[in-house]
Amino acid sequence: MKILVVNTGSSSLKFQLIDAKKNFTELYSGIVDNIGKKNCFFDAKINHTRIHFKKNISNHEKGLQEALKIMLKNKAVKSLKEIKAVGHRVVHGGEKYKNAVKITSQVKKTIKELYELAPLHNPANLQGILACEKLLKNIPNIAVFDTSFHQTMPQKAYLYAIPKEYYKKFKIRRYGFHGTSHKYISQETYKLLKNKKAKIITCHLGNGSSISAVSGGKSIDTSMGFTPLEGVIMGTRSGTIDPAIILYLLKKHKLSPEKIDEILNYRSGILAVSEISSDVRDIWAAAQRKNKKAIFALEYMAYSIAKQIGAYIAAMNGIDAITFTAGIGENAWYLRKDICEYLNFIGVKLDTAKNRASKPLISSPLSKVKVFVMPSNEGLEIAEEVINMIK
Ligand code: ADP
């Protein structure tokens, strides 16, 4: 049974065709990027071959059309009828969606109502849904929300200490994001630990980064909050700062809300601390050349992440495993080493060679806490949820 997984951003459409009958093998995957812009391109992998070309594609529907055309041309499927369902990554499901849902007109209405909480993502996600409904008729479309996994957080984790009316009227609370990734890697970690009750900290460290405390399979706290801006330092996002800084910039320095938004989302984080790049690879390369700003930026990152992990060890009153994933988590062994050094006090000990090789288990046999590295496969998790829904 073939499932299409679609993940749309404001100017991108990522897709994966997964064969659920063949152990969830990926048959085809790719991206249409810079949709509606001059430098729009198509990039895909099919039958171990890469297909890459530039083409002007004006919207998500045309992007999907292109992806389907190439899928047929390269015989990933003989006919579109082989696709039995589509799974959509939808960023915000608010408090309403605690699990994946079959998309109906009511669900689309709710996704729209949540535009105000996810103005960059939910509109693009709905574009993807509408394109699939139009081009792949009469099959179920399933929404898998980034926020759902964190809906198990207790009130003490999700409420902010501001007057209750802002939660009630404006829905201001911690939602958390990257839920599909935290769910997938925590479940994979449970399999490796063979202990369903374990206390795990999952570290999704990419351009956007978030850390979750997962106890007995449930997310009990997570570092991103009302928006993906809260939490640990990220590529260009500040993470948590004193909220009074915003008021100070607004009132004293007369910066507009738009300007502050731009500063905190696009000009902060690792980019601001290093003044080199938002990409850890560039910073690591500069650190190798003994660039002081780069060395400081890496120290800063490790400190920011280790502090959050420490907080979650206290929140769960213990820890059995830490799992790293995403671009930085999977590759930056030097950051994993620095982060774990802060955790020596509770008996975290890495195996140097395994950490360098990014093996699944990177802690030493002497470590009191197991440390893992694994790729996150949100597409696979979405496909599995789709199968569970349509069964
Ligand atoms: P996104 O959040 O956009 O999905 P990714 O999970 O792909 O991002 O992470 C992208 C980031 O991962 C890059 O900006 C870079 O900082 C980091 N990264 C990717 N590859 C490496 C690598 N080999 N070594 C260190 N960092 C890497």
Nearest to 327 by CA among 278, 285, 274: 278
Please tell me if the CB atom of residue 235 comes closer than 6 angstroms to any atom of ligand 1. yes
Are both 240 and 367 inside the same structural domain? yes
Residue 185 lies in a domain: no
Same domain, 77 and 12: yes
Q: Strand 321-325 vs strand 199-205: parallel, antiparallel, or unpaired?
A: parallel
Where is the domain boundary, 145, 171, 205? 145
8 plus 121 within the same structural domain:
yes
120 and 21 within one domain: yes
Q: Is there a single domain that holds both residue 199 and residue 102?
A: no
Residue 359's pLDDT is 83
Is 8 within a domain? yes
Sheet of strand 370-373: strand arrangement: 218-222, 209-215, 199-205, 321-325, 370-373
Q: Which atom of ligand 1 is nearest to the CA of 279?
A: 16
Shared domain for 204 and 333, answered yes or no, is yes
Pocket test for ligand 1, best of 31, 185, 207 (most atoms within 8 A of CB): 207
| Pocket flag, ligand 1, residue 328 (CB < 6 Å) | yes
Bridge partner list, 363: 350
Q: Does residue 139 sit in the same domain as residue 24?
A: yes
Could you tell me the two tokens for 184?
A: 């997938």
Question: Looking at the 3D structure of the chain, how many domains does it have?
Answer: 2
Whether residue 263 sits in one domain with residue 331: yes
Span from the CA of 327 to the centroid of ligand 1 (angstroms): 3
Burial of 34 (C-beta count, 10 Å sphere; 0-12/13-18/19+): middle
Inside any domain, residue 268: yes
**What is the spatial distance between Cα 204 and Cα 278, in angstroms, rounded to a whole number?**
16
Same domain, 201 and 333: yes
Residue ranges making up the domain that contains 114: 2-145
Domain boundary residue among 104, 123, 145? 145
Judge if the beta carbon of residue 343 lies within 6 A of ligand 1.
Answer: no
Q: E-assigned strands of 248-332?
A: 321-325
Mutation probe of ligand 1 site: the residue of 281, 282, 283, 325 with most atoms within 8 A of C-beta: 281
Ligand 1, atom 7, residue with closest C-alpha: 327
Ligand 1 centroid vs 112 CA: distance in angstroms?
A: 30
In a domain, 296, yes or no: yes
CB 87 within 8 A of CB 146: no
Tell which atom from ligand 1 comes closest to the C-alpha of 326.
6
Amino acid at site 344: N
Mutate-to-test residue for ligand 1 from 12, 233, 279, highest number of ligand atoms within 8 A of CB: 279
Distance CA 351, CA 363 (A): 5
- Residue 295 in domain: yes
Query: What element of type H or E holds 286?
Result: helix 280-288
Same domain for 335 and 260? yes
229 phi/psi in degrees, rounded to 5 = -85, -25
Quote the ligand 1 centre to 214 CA distance (angstroms): 23
Residue 379's φ and ψ, nearest 5 degrees, are -60, -45
Whose structure tokens read 């009302």?
A: 226
Residue where the block lists tokens 């915003």? 246
Tokens 């394109």 correspond to what residue? 131
Q: How far is the CA of 207 from the centre of ligand 1 (A)?
A: 6
| Same domain? 214 vs 349 | yes
- Nearest residue (by CA) to ligand 1, atom 20, is 327
By CB neighbour count within 10 A (0-12 exposed, 13-18 middle, 19+ buried), where does 351 fall?
middle
Under-70 pLDDT residues of the chain: none
Task: List the catalytic residues.
Answer: 146
Q: Which of residues 145, 162, 187 is at a domain's end?
A: 145
Residue type, 130: L
CA distance linking residue 142 with residue 347, whole number of Å = 43
Indicate whether residue 206 lines ligand 1 (CB < 6 A): yes
Query: How many whole angstroms separate alpha carbon 17 and alpha carbon 29?
Result: 6
- Binding site membership of 208 for ligand 1 (Cβ less than 6 Å): yes
Residue 203 has a pLDDT of 98
Domain assignment present for residue 37? The answer is yes
Using DSSP bridges, classify how beta strands 83-90 and 141-145 pair: parallel, antiparallel or unpaired.
parallel
133 CB near ligand 1 (under 6 Å): no
Please check whether residue 183 lies inside any domain of the structure.
no
In angstroms, what is the span from residue 335 Cα to ligand 1's centroid?
A: 13
Q: Name, in order, each residue with C-beta under 8 angstroms of 45's C-beta and a sequence gap of 6 or more.
A: 28, 29, 30, 51
Report d(CA 7, CA 365) in Å as an integer: 39
CATH number at residue 215: 3.30.420.40
366 and 228 both lie in a single domain = yes
Q: How far is the CA of 85 from the centre of ligand 1 (A)?
A: 30
Residue 83 placed within a domain: yes
